[in-house]
Amino acid sequence: MSDRTPAGQFFDAAITLLQRVRDEEADSVQAAGTLLADTVAEGGRLFAFGAGHSSLAAQDVVYRAGGLALMNLLTVPGVVGVDVMPATLGSALERVDGLASVVLETSPLRSGDALVIISLSGRNALPVEMAMKARSLGVRVIGVTSVAYASETTSRHVSGTYLKDHCDVVLDSKIAIGDAELTLDTIPAPFAPASTAVTTALLQAVMATAAATLADRGIEPPLLRSGNVDGGHEWNGRVFEEYRDRIFYQY
Protein backbone atom coordinates (compact mmCIF):
# COMPACT_ATOMS: atom_id res chain seq x y z
CA MET A 1 0.00 0.00 0.00
CA SER A 2 1.40 3.40 -0.97
CA ASP A 3 2.40 5.78 1.82
CA ARG A 4 0.53 9.02 1.08
CA THR A 5 1.97 10.97 4.00
CA PRO A 6 4.13 13.94 2.99
CA ALA A 7 7.20 11.99 4.06
CA GLY A 8 6.18 9.00 1.97
CA GLN A 9 5.42 11.19 -1.02
CA PHE A 10 8.81 12.86 -0.77
CA PHE A 11 10.63 9.52 -0.62
CA ASP A 12 8.63 8.34 -3.64
CA ALA A 13 9.53 11.49 -5.56
CA ALA A 14 13.22 11.21 -4.67
CA ILE A 15 13.33 7.52 -5.57
CA THR A 16 11.65 8.23 -8.91
CA LEU A 17 14.23 10.92 -9.69
CA LEU A 18 17.08 8.61 -8.70
CA GLN A 19 15.70 5.89 -10.96
CA ARG A 20 15.44 8.38 -13.83
CA VAL A 21 19.02 9.60 -13.52
CA ARG A 22 20.24 6.03 -13.16
CA ASP A 23 18.51 4.98 -16.38
CA GLU A 24 18.63 8.15 -18.47
CA GLU A 25 22.07 9.48 -17.49
CA ALA A 26 24.01 6.21 -17.54
CA ASP A 27 26.05 7.17 -20.62
CA SER A 28 26.82 10.62 -19.22
CA VAL A 29 27.85 9.16 -15.86
CA GLN A 30 30.19 6.78 -17.67
CA ALA A 31 31.61 9.64 -19.74
CA ALA A 32 32.13 11.82 -16.67
CA GLY A 33 33.78 9.02 -14.71
CA THR A 34 36.03 8.24 -17.65
CA LEU A 35 36.98 11.91 -17.98
CA LEU A 36 38.03 12.01 -14.32
CA ALA A 37 39.94 8.74 -14.66
CA ASP A 38 41.72 10.08 -17.75
CA THR A 39 42.67 13.22 -15.82
CA VAL A 40 44.09 11.24 -12.91
CA ALA A 41 46.00 8.90 -15.22
CA GLU A 42 47.47 11.85 -17.11
CA GLY A 43 48.69 13.59 -13.96
CA GLY A 44 45.93 16.19 -13.76
CA ARG A 45 44.13 17.47 -10.72
CA LEU A 46 40.42 17.33 -9.89
CA PHE A 47 38.26 20.18 -8.60
CA ALA A 48 34.59 20.64 -7.74
CA PHE A 49 32.58 23.84 -7.40
CA GLY A 50 29.03 24.68 -6.44
CA ALA A 51 27.37 27.84 -5.14
CA GLY A 52 24.84 27.97 -2.34
CA HIS A 53 23.14 24.63 -1.78
CA SER A 54 24.83 23.27 -4.90
CA SER A 55 28.04 23.52 -2.89
CA LEU A 56 26.78 20.70 -0.66
CA ALA A 57 27.19 18.19 -3.48
CA ALA A 58 30.64 19.59 -4.28
CA GLN A 59 31.74 19.30 -0.67
CA ASP A 60 30.39 15.76 -0.51
CA VAL A 61 33.07 14.48 -2.91
CA VAL A 62 35.99 16.25 -1.22
CA TYR A 63 38.09 14.65 1.55
CA ARG A 64 35.72 11.87 2.47
CA ALA A 65 35.96 8.19 3.25
CA GLY A 66 35.56 6.08 0.13
CA GLY A 67 36.17 9.07 -2.12
CA LEU A 68 38.92 10.09 -4.50
CA ALA A 69 41.65 11.86 -2.55
CA LEU A 70 42.44 14.09 -5.53
CA MET A 71 39.09 15.88 -5.55
CA ASN A 72 39.60 19.45 -4.32
CA LEU A 73 37.00 22.10 -3.51
CA LEU A 74 37.23 25.24 -5.62
CA THR A 75 35.96 28.00 -3.38
CA VAL A 76 34.55 31.40 -4.19
CA PRO A 77 34.36 33.58 -1.04
CA GLY A 78 30.78 34.28 -0.07
CA VAL A 79 29.08 31.64 -2.19
CA VAL A 80 30.20 28.32 -0.73
CA GLY A 81 27.34 27.99 1.72
CA VAL A 82 24.73 29.64 3.89
CA ASP A 83 27.30 30.47 6.59
CA VAL A 84 27.95 33.82 4.88
CA MET A 85 25.98 36.71 6.41
CA PRO A 86 23.60 37.71 5.09
CA ALA A 87 22.87 34.42 3.34
CA THR A 88 21.34 36.33 0.44
CA LEU A 89 24.79 37.73 -0.41
CA GLY A 90 25.74 34.40 -1.94
CA SER A 91 22.78 34.53 -4.30
CA ALA A 92 23.72 38.05 -5.33
CA LEU A 93 27.36 37.14 -5.98
CA GLU A 94 26.29 34.34 -8.33
CA ARG A 95 25.01 37.04 -10.68
CA VAL A 96 28.18 39.16 -10.75
CA ASP A 97 29.91 39.23 -14.13
CA GLY A 98 33.68 38.78 -14.00
CA LEU A 99 33.84 37.07 -10.60
CA ALA A 100 34.48 33.59 -11.99
CA SER A 101 37.35 34.76 -14.17
CA VAL A 102 39.07 36.44 -11.22
CA VAL A 103 38.66 33.31 -9.12
CA LEU A 104 40.06 30.99 -11.77
CA GLU A 105 43.00 33.27 -12.56
CA THR A 106 44.07 33.13 -8.89
CA SER A 107 43.29 29.42 -8.36
CA PRO A 108 45.61 26.44 -8.83
CA LEU A 109 43.63 25.23 -11.85
CA ARG A 110 45.74 24.66 -14.95
CA SER A 111 45.52 23.04 -18.35
CA GLY A 112 44.94 19.30 -18.08
CA ASP A 113 42.87 19.51 -14.89
CA ALA A 114 39.17 18.66 -14.57
CA LEU A 115 36.49 20.79 -12.93
CA VAL A 116 33.03 19.66 -11.86
CA ILE A 117 30.63 22.62 -11.78
CA ILE A 118 27.32 22.11 -10.00
CA SER A 119 24.47 24.55 -10.58
CA LEU A 120 20.84 23.48 -10.41
CA SER A 121 19.56 26.20 -12.74
CA GLY A 122 22.79 26.73 -14.67
CA ARG A 123 21.54 30.22 -15.53
CA ASN A 124 23.59 32.51 -13.30
CA ALA A 125 26.68 34.37 -14.47
CA LEU A 126 29.04 32.62 -12.06
CA PRO A 127 28.71 28.98 -13.21
CA VAL A 128 28.36 29.92 -16.89
CA GLU A 129 31.43 32.14 -16.85
CA MET A 130 33.37 29.63 -14.78
CA ALA A 131 32.76 26.90 -17.35
CA MET A 132 33.67 29.19 -20.24
CA LYS A 133 36.83 30.48 -18.58
CA ALA A 134 37.94 27.04 -17.39
CA ARG A 135 37.70 25.56 -20.85
CA SER A 136 39.63 28.48 -22.31
CA LEU A 137 42.42 27.56 -19.88
CA GLY A 138 42.49 23.97 -21.09
CA VAL A 139 40.47 22.56 -18.19
CA ARG A 140 37.88 19.88 -18.93
CA VAL A 141 34.47 20.64 -17.46
CA ILE A 142 31.72 18.39 -16.16
CA GLY A 143 28.46 20.25 -15.56
CA VAL A 144 25.77 18.99 -13.18
CA THR A 145 22.51 20.85 -13.71
CA SER A 146 18.81 20.58 -14.45
CA VAL A 147 18.59 20.98 -18.20
CA ALA A 148 14.91 21.91 -17.93
CA TYR A 149 15.86 25.37 -16.67
CA ALA A 150 17.43 26.21 -20.03
CA SER A 151 14.08 25.90 -21.79
CA GLU A 152 11.91 27.53 -19.12
CA THR A 153 14.02 30.37 -17.68
CA THR A 154 16.13 33.24 -18.98
CA SER A 155 19.91 33.12 -18.73
CA ARG A 156 21.51 35.68 -16.40
CA HIS A 157 24.80 35.63 -18.31
CA VAL A 158 25.50 38.25 -20.95
CA SER A 159 25.94 35.51 -23.56
CA GLY A 160 22.40 34.25 -23.03
CA THR A 161 23.77 30.74 -22.54
CA TYR A 162 23.63 28.23 -19.70
CA LEU A 163 26.10 26.01 -17.90
CA LYS A 164 25.09 23.08 -20.07
CA ASP A 165 26.33 24.92 -23.16
CA HIS A 166 29.95 25.03 -21.99
CA CYS A 167 30.76 21.53 -20.73
CA ASP A 168 32.61 18.50 -22.00
CA VAL A 169 30.05 16.31 -20.21
CA VAL A 170 26.62 17.31 -18.87
CA LEU A 171 24.80 15.43 -16.12
CA ASP A 172 21.08 16.25 -16.03
CA SER A 173 19.64 15.95 -12.52
CA LYS A 174 16.06 16.02 -13.90
CA ILE A 175 14.98 18.35 -11.08
CA ALA A 176 11.83 20.32 -11.92
CA ILE A 177 11.87 24.11 -12.10
CA GLY A 178 11.76 25.52 -8.57
CA ASP A 179 13.29 22.47 -6.85
CA ALA A 180 10.28 21.46 -4.75
CA GLU A 181 8.60 18.09 -5.07
CA LEU A 182 5.42 18.44 -3.03
CA THR A 183 2.30 20.61 -3.05
CA LEU A 184 -0.66 20.76 -0.68
CA ASP A 185 -3.87 22.78 -0.91
CA THR A 186 -3.22 24.02 2.60
CA ILE A 187 0.29 25.31 1.82
CA PRO A 188 0.65 28.26 -0.60
CA ALA A 189 4.10 27.34 -1.94
CA PRO A 190 5.63 24.09 -3.24
CA PHE A 191 8.01 22.47 -0.78
CA ALA A 192 10.44 19.57 -0.11
CA PRO A 193 13.46 20.00 -2.45
CA ALA A 194 15.26 16.89 -3.70
CA SER A 195 18.14 18.38 -5.67
CA THR A 196 20.78 17.76 -3.00
CA ALA A 197 19.94 14.07 -2.66
CA VAL A 198 19.82 13.49 -6.41
CA THR A 199 22.88 15.56 -7.32
CA THR A 200 24.95 13.96 -4.56
CA ALA A 201 23.98 10.50 -5.77
CA LEU A 202 24.83 11.42 -9.35
CA LEU A 203 28.30 12.58 -8.36
CA GLN A 204 28.99 9.55 -6.20
CA ALA A 205 28.05 7.39 -9.18
CA VAL A 206 30.60 9.33 -11.23
CA MET A 207 33.27 8.85 -8.54
CA ALA A 208 32.56 5.13 -8.42
CA THR A 209 32.88 4.96 -12.19
CA ALA A 210 36.18 6.85 -12.11
CA ALA A 211 37.63 4.54 -9.46
CA ALA A 212 36.57 1.39 -11.30
CA THR A 213 37.86 2.75 -14.62
CA LEU A 214 41.28 3.43 -13.11
CA ALA A 215 41.36 -0.05 -11.62
CA ASP A 216 40.45 -1.58 -14.98
CA ARG A 217 43.54 0.14 -16.41
CA GLY A 218 45.77 -1.30 -13.73
CA ILE A 219 45.99 1.99 -11.82
CA GLU A 220 45.17 1.91 -8.12
CA PRO A 221 42.61 4.68 -7.54
CA PRO A 222 43.77 7.12 -4.85
CA LEU A 223 40.96 6.50 -2.38
CA LEU A 224 40.61 7.66 1.21
CA ARG A 225 39.56 5.46 4.10
CA SER A 226 37.58 6.43 7.15
CA GLY A 227 39.67 7.82 9.97
CA ASN A 228 37.29 6.01 12.32
CA VAL A 229 38.48 2.53 11.35
CA ASP A 230 41.76 1.02 12.50
CA GLY A 231 44.55 1.91 10.12
CA GLY A 232 42.54 4.62 8.39
CA HIS A 233 44.79 7.52 9.33
CA GLU A 234 47.90 5.63 8.30
CA TRP A 235 46.37 4.71 4.95
CA ASN A 236 45.32 8.29 4.28
CA GLY A 237 48.73 9.59 5.31
CA ARG A 238 50.37 7.47 2.62
CA VAL A 239 47.88 8.71 0.00
CA PHE A 240 48.46 12.33 1.02
CA GLU A 241 52.20 11.89 0.72
CA GLU A 242 52.08 10.14 -2.64
CA TYR A 243 49.75 12.71 -4.19
CA ARG A 244 50.77 15.82 -2.25
CA ASP A 245 51.28 17.79 -5.46
CA ARG A 246 47.63 17.25 -6.46
CA ILE A 247 45.93 17.73 -3.09
CA PHE A 248 45.23 21.31 -2.00
CA TYR A 249 43.10 20.82 1.12
CA GLN A 250 45.90 19.11 3.04
CA TYR A 251 48.94 21.33 2.63
Model pLDDT, residue 2: 64
**Is there a contact between 194 and 175 (Cβ–Cβ < 8 Å)?**
yes
Low-confidence residues of the chain, pLDDT below 70?
1-2, 251
Distances from the Cα of 85 to the Cα of 91, 92, 102, 124, 133, angstroms? 11, 12, 22, 20, 28
Model pLDDT, residue 172: 98
Q: How many Cβ atoms are within 10 Å of 2's Cβ, its own excluded? A: 7
Model pLDDT, residue 1: 54
Residue 140, C-beta contacts closer than 8 angstroms, at least 6 positions apart: 35, 39, 113, 114, 115, 168
Model pLDDT, residue 84: 81
pLDDT tens digits, 109-142: 999 999 999 999 999 999 999 999 999 999 999 9
Instruction: Tell me the three state secondary structure of residue 165.
Output: helix
DSSP bridge pairs for 187: 184
45 Rama class: left (phi>0) / alpha (psi -120 to 50) / beta: beta
The three-point CA angle 107-118-191 to 5° equals 140
